[in-house]
Structure 1
């Protein structure tokens, strides 16, 4: 499971994916643990981050990058400059909720 970073993707690729219609999310400078319950695709509008998978090597990305986080990945986020991103999660609200409920009972 590896994080994929594409620097400065083509506008045609972003348009084909409908990135501008995806919801956005913001995060201040901080460090926190995270689990990707489903695959996430993200287009970074602002910021700079280092995400380190548990047992893996740090991955750095920032403004203008397209990033894919695989399902099941556990990471530590270090937001170095305030983050603003478009994001898309695989599945629908029902499957996303189910994955989170399942994960909560595994703790």
Structure 2
């Protein structure tokens, strides 16, 4: 499982994916752990981050990058500059909710 970073993707790709219609998320400078229950695609509007997958090397990305986080990935985030991103989660609301419920029950 690897994080994929595409620096400055073509506008045609972003338009074909409908990135401008995806919801956005913001996060202040911070450090926190996270689990990606489903694949997430993100387009970074602002910010700079270092994400370190458990047992792997850190990955750095920032403004203008298109990032894909694989499902099942556990990471530690370091938001170095305030983050603002468009994001898209794999699946629909029902499957996303089910994955989170299952994960919570395993704890």
Q: TM-score, normalised by structure 1?
A: 1.00
| Structure 2 CA distance for aligned equivalents of residues 40 and 68 of structure 1 | 6
Q: Which residue of 2 aligns with 1:51?
A: 51
Q: Which residue of 1 aligns with 2:32?
A: 32
Q: Which runs of 5+ in 2 are unaligned?
A: none
| Structure 1 CA distance for aligned equivalents of residues 10 and 42 of structure 2 | 14
The ranges of structure 1 where at least 4 consecutive aligned residues each deviate by more than 4 angstroms after the TM superposition are none
Q: Which residue of 2 aligns with 1:68?
A: 68
Shift of 1:98: 0.0
Q: Which residue of 2 aligns with 1:90?
A: 90
Q: Deviations over 1:37-67 (max 9, x none)?
A: 0000000000000000000000000000000
Q: TM-score, normalised by structure 2?
A: 1.00
How many residue pairs get matched? 107
